[in-house]
């Protein structure tokens, strides 16, 4: 999906990936991250947000919850991390990273709530009264106040399987009043939904989803009952292009994730401001029934994995198709049509979510200067590795 764009816009990254694997510095099933390009993308997005008076929380689940990159983004000026679930919140707290929005898609379980409130995220997203009450109890015990966002929905909204949640819009006023009267240590700061923006293939552009209208209406409902609606959180596909859309259609808080690595679906098709900053590296393991098999481990079912480069260097490599495993299978290997030389390097670029894989994350600095240096190797959950 992204391979040709990556070769076109960041050829040095692809060359470096081949070089590191041929030297034996990295193993197959590794994502190689161009740190300088990643951070340059982050600066562009943050600058755009500041120009438009918008708040940003960075999301790093897709890049393996990486603490090195998190620290750099905080140093750059981002307000904190989006922790999509409680495991990511625990990881960020362990590495002492400030949290912007906790529970973006998964609320904290009871055993984590007090620890999370103690850490002090700017907001926690909730979508049940029971969870709001848990936060109230924790905040009262700690002598604190905790801000929350209310996740809202209508039946016609886009809701991905496995992400079903929210306060139905018709009950939002009643819910907000309940929180205001029953939870004196909980402050409602705004509303959210997911996704509010998405890449529309027919339009060839990032466009507002139906959920955006629900969020904007939800913010107006909050105002009618005296609740604050200062944060209108409109995530998904946040990048410079999306911030332009937010300025036009609505929302004042974004959550760049794939925008930071230049890998939103629109980046695969267009030369946007952000450049691709990640590739996947594997190795030909064996040949079987006329096809080649390379080591797997980094597959994501929505990756749209299509092509690979195979060879010993960029100049002599061959482009070939990729046959990903079926959805019900474990990705021990990826198959390539036709036989290949065992041990050859394989480089791919596709949509990824590293936190659901067993891959290594290899951070490399100095690529654009021709002096690549591994800054660290991490597992898919952001834990630094000493070596193989």
C-alpha triplet 348, 349, 355: angle, nearest 5°: 105
Choose among 305, 317, 324, 359: nearest CA to 341.
317
Token representation of residue 236: 């998904």
pLDDT tens readout for residues 56-86? 999 999 999 999 999 999 999 999 999 999 9
- 281: Cβ–Cβ under 8 A, 6 or more apart, which residues? 17, 20, 21, 26, 28, 29, 30, 31, 32, 345, 346, 347, 362
The pLDDT value given to residue 257? 97
Q: Tell me what pLDDT residue 327 has.
A: 83
At 84-133, the pLDDT tens digits run 999 999 999 999 999 999 998 999 999 999 999 999 999 999 999 999 99
**pLDDT tens, residue by residue, 234-245:** 999 999 999 999
Q: How far apart are CA 144 and CA 149, in angstroms?
A: 17
- The predicted pLDDT at position 388 comes to 64
Q: What is the dihedral of CA 382, 383, 386, 388, to 10 degrees?
A: -70
Quick check: 387 pLDDT over 80?
no
pLDDT at residue 303, rounded to an integer = 81
Nearest Cα residue to 259 out of 276, 245, 271: 276
- Check residue 35 and give its pLDDT: 98
Residue pLDDT, tens place only, 305-334: 899 999 999 999 999 999 988 888 999 999
Determine what percent of the chain is predicted with pLDDT higher than 90. 94
Comparing CA positions, the residue from 345, 334, 385 lying closest to residue 362 is 385
pLDDT at 219 over 80: yes
Burial class (CB in 10 A: 0-12, 13-18, 19+), 12: middle
Residue pLDDT, tens place only, 244-286: 999 999 999 999 999 999 999 999 999 999 999 999 999 999 9
The pLDDT score that the predictor gives to residue 328 is: 87
When pLDDT is cut at 50, 70 and 90, the band that residue 41 belongs to is very high
Q: Is the pLDDT at 8 greater than 70, yes or no? A: yes
pTM assigned to the model: 0.96
Beta strand pairing call for 253-254 and 55-56: parallel
pLDDT value at position 228? Answer: 87
How high is the mean pLDDT of the chain?
A: 96
Helix, strand, coil share (%) of the chain residues, nearest 5: 35, 25, 40
Question: Does residue 386 have a pLDDT over 90?
Answer: no
Average pLDDT over every residue of 180-190: 97
pLDDT, tens digit (0-9, with 9 covering 90-100), for 328-366: 899 999 999 999 999 999 999 999 999 999 999 999 999
What pLDDT is attached to residue 106?
96
């Amino acid at each position: 999906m992204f391979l040709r764009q990556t070769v076109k816009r960041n050829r040095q990254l692809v060359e470096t990936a081949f070089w590191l694997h041929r030297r034996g510095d990295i193993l197959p099933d590794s994502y190689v991250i161009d740190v300088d390009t990643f951070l340059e993308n982050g600066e562009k997005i943050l600058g755009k947000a500041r120009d438009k008076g918008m708040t940003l929380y960075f999301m790093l689940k897709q890049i393996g919850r990486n603490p090195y990159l998190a620290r750099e983004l905080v140093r750059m000026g981002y307000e904190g991390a989006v922790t999509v679930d409680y495991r990511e919140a625990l990881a960020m707290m362990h590495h002492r990273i400030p949290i912007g929005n906790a529970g973006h898609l998964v609320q904290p379980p009871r055993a984590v709530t007090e620890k999370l409130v103690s850490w002090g995220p700017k907001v926690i997203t909730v979508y049940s009264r029971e969870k709001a009450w848990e936060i109230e109890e924790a905040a009262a015990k700690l002598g604190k106040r905790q801000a929350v966002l209310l996740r809202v929905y209508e039946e016609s909204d886009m809701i991905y399987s496995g992400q079903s949640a929210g306060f139905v819009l018709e009950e939002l006023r009643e819910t907000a009043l309940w929180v205001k009267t029953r939870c004196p240590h909980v402050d409602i700061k705004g509303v959210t939904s997911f996704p509010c923006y998405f890449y529309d293939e027919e339009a060839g552009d990032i466009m507002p989803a139906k959920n955006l209208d629900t969020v904007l209406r939800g913010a107006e409902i909050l105002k009618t009952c005296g609740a604050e609606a200062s944060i209108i959180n409109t995530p998904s596909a946040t990048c410079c292009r999306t911030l332009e859309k937010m300025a036009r259609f609505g929302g004042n808080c974004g959550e760049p994730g794939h925008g930071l690595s230049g890998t939103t679906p629109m980046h695969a098709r267009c030369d946007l401001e952000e450049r691709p900053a990640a590739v996947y590296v594997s190795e030909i393991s064996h040949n079987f029934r006329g096809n080649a098999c390379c080591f797997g481990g980094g597959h994501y079912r929505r990756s749209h994995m299509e092509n690979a480069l195979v060879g010993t260097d960029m100049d002599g490599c061959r482009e070939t198709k990729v046959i990903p495993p079926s959805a019900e299978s474990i990705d021990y290997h990826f198959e390539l049509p036709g036989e290949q030389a065992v041990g050859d390097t394989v480089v791919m670029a596709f949509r990824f979510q590293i936190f659901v894989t067993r891959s290594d994350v290899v951070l490399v600095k100095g690529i654009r200067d021709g002096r690549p240096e591994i800054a660290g190797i991490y597992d898919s959950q952001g834990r630094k590795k000493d070596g193989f």
